[in-house]
Amino acid sequence: MGFGLIKVVGKKMEFIQMNELMLKKYDDHYLKLKVIFERTIELIDTYNPDEIALEAPFFGKNVQSMLKLGRAQGVAMAAGLSREIPVTEYAPKKIKMAITGKGTSSKEQVAMMLKSLLNLKELPKNLDATDGLAAAVCHFYNSGTKVGGKNYTGWAAFVKQNPKKIG
């Protein structure tokens, strides 16, 4: 499970951190849920976020995987709600659209765009961390915040007016 933190200063976002919870070492699904809850609470208590954005469950072919993913997302939501922090969910396609302008982008494309947008020096080997960061950036773009004090009619307009931000 990946997570990413950004800070909004004025009308710009600043990268704080991204990482992932290494849950494969736990065999027990309930123990994994406990770790997710505790680590989410720890992040909240450390960084005091104003809002939390999550990737909404998506419908796949494997019902068991979907159920486990939904439980994990629910535990992360519960952690935020227990601290009275508003939680917003975004569909995977909406997150990809916000970052790359295309809802069918690959994890790699999303990661590369995040690297450019946030001036990251390097990307993690496992892209679950960038998935979490992408949810945060998507929320920034969808929360009514204007980038650079300007309104854009879409991704193409942003790119055209900000060629130096795209690399």
Specify binding-site residues: 55, 128
Report how far residue 157's alpha carbon sits from residue 7's, in angstroms, rounded to the nearest whole number: 24
Establish whether 20 is a catalytic residue: no
| Residue 39: exposure state from Cβ atoms within 10 A (0-12, 13-18, ≥19) | middle
Instruction: Mark the binding-site residues for Mg(2+), compressed into ranges.
Output: 55, 128
The greatest distance separating any two alpha carbons of the chain, rounded to the nearest whole angstrom, comes to 50
Helix ranges (H only) for 53-162 are: 63-82, 92-100, 107-117, 128-142, 155-161
Residue whose token pair is 């909404």:
56
Catalytic residue, chosen from 20, 28, 55, 108, is 55
Structure tokens of 74? 């629910």
Report how far residue 25's alpha carbon sits from residue 20's, in angstroms, rounded to the nearest whole number: 13
Both ends of the chain: CA-CA distance in Å?
28
Catalytic residue, chosen from 14, 20, 128, 131, is 128
Establish whether 55 is a catalytic residue: yes
User: Annotated catalytic sites, by residue?
Assistant: 55, 128
